[in-house]
Amino acid sequence: MNNRQVNLHTHTCLCKHGEGMVPDFCAEALKTGLNILGFSEHSPFPDNRYNNTRMDYAQLELYCQWLKDARQTFPALEILSGLEIDLDPDFPPAFYREELKERFELDFLSGGVHFVHDKDGQCIWAGAGAHHPLEVIRLFTEKTIFLMESGLVEFITHPDMVAGSIDRWTPEVKTLFREVVQAASSLNIPLEVNAYGFRKAELSYPEGIRHPYPWQPFWELAAEFDVPCVIGSDAHAPAEVSSNLPEVYAFTEELGLRCVNAKTALKIIQKRTLSQYE
């Protein structure tokens, strides 16, 4: 198995901004040469907050059943069950470990920051188009580091997603992102180079036209610290399971990034195997 046969970032229609059922993604994965497919729906909350971008909490059992059924239907494909978590200040880390991963017997959790909360408790979307001030970027990086330090996640998804709202690569931005890559390096937590960013429209910034992410200056910094990286399609439709992956692999190879897709998947599988004997 090689890195290009693994994708650990997949969403379905349950997230409410995707389309397609689990079998559709599995069939496409096999068609495009994948051996391991990780499903990582956005983690829901018991009170269904943010549920315009994630399944309802009551659908978790359905989600897990879909994955169990798919394992029977597609024995040639290693299917990993997971959630992409975004820590909310009202829920302690134990909630994600005990009420999500352990209760629903998930194989893994990944961590991806999509929103932050300011000092007044206001929820702020961290994606493209907002032209965020430095304070929001700082909150994004702090939350990303907290996710890594929590011990909950196997890797961080789109760690540079906030780049879509940053006009320029400044010394202050570099300092914040250096903290992220240093934490990833010291904790040996892979950062994901996300193919979804290449499927998003290019935007105009003072420094030129680019996709919102992956942002090359961020990944040049990651290469400098030899941060392990995974490459994920962040598929929201079956046709996206392997789309833009060649482009992302070329991007990472040009920068000399160290890809650990296969290693990360095997680590997840080994943990699942060990838990069966506990």
User: What pTM value is reported for the model?
Assistant: 0.96
Output 132 or 145, whichever has higher pLDDT.
145
Q: What is the mean pLDDT of residues 83-105?
A: 95
pLDDT for 127 equals 83
Assign 278 a pLDDT band (cuts: 50, 70, 90).
low
Mean pLDDT over each residue of the chain, to the nearest integer: 95
Q: Establish whether the linkage from the previous residue to 214 is cis, with ω within 30° of 0.
A: yes
Contact 156, 192 (CB under 8 A): yes
Asked whether the predicted pLDDT for residue 46 surpasses 90, the reply is yes
pLDDT for 179 equals 98
Q: What is the mean pLDDT of residues 60-89?
A: 97
Asked whether the predicted pLDDT for residue 115 surpasses 90, the reply is yes
Assign 130 a pLDDT band (cuts: 50, 70, 90).
low
Query: Each residue of 211-232: pLDDT tens digit?
Result: 999 999 999 999 999 999 999 9
User: 82 to each of 53, 101, 133, 135, how far by Cα in Å?
Assistant: 16, 8, 33, 31
Could you tell me the domains of the chain?
3-275 (3.20.20.140)
**223: Cα within 13 Å, side-chain hemisphere:** 14
Question: Own/partner pairs for 16-19, CB < 8 Å, 24+ apart?
Answer: 16/51, 16/52, 16/53, 16/54, 16/55, 17/53, 17/236, 18/235, 18/236, 18/237, 19/236, 19/237, 19/238
Query: Each residue of 12-35: pLDDT tens digit?
Result: 999 999 999 999 999 999 999 999
Total Cβ atoms within 10 A of residue 254: 11
